[in-house]
Amino acid sequence: MPGWISTFSECVESEKMSTPPPLPSASDWDVPSTRIAALALSACNAAFWIYTFPFVYAHTDPKGTGFDMLPVMPFTIIFFALTLPTAVKAIGGRGLGVALVLVLGATALNTIIFLALLSSYAAAGR
């Protein structure tokens, strides 16, 4: 066996790890209070999403074409893109910082869109 192969094999054997590397520490956000806040805000956003259906339906034109229910679509997108992943992350207990940011973003977007919807209803006199 050539000398460089034995030197290489000795070098590789000396660098073998006897123990696995340590696991990364949990994030500072992965605490029970963050999980509770994310779950509570997710539940509130889900309840608000369900509330928007009868609210918009109550303000539709009885002789309308059905497009009066279109304002529910942004709330549905927010629910499936932000609120539902937050609930899944919070139930799983991983990535709670990201979950909290997602649910706070969903709450802000729901508020902005709902206020715009209210102003359009007020302008239309419904």
Does 6 reside within a domain?
no
Domains contained in the chain, number: 1
The verdict on pTM exceeding 0.85 is no
Least-confidence region, from 23-27, 31-35, 56-60, 112-116: 23-27
State the residue range of the domain holding 76.
32-124
* 88-103 tens-digit pLDDT: 999 998 889 999 999 9
Does 49 reside within a domain?
yes
Q: Which residues are CB-contacts of 44 (< 8 A; sequence separation ≥ 6)?
A: 107
Query: How is residue 21 written in tokens?
Result: 């590397």
Alpha-helical regions (H) of the chain = 3-14, 32-58, 72-78, 84-92, 96-124
Q: Which residues are CB-contacts of 86 (< 8 A; sequence separation ≥ 6)?
A: 38, 41, 42, 99, 100, 102, 103, 106
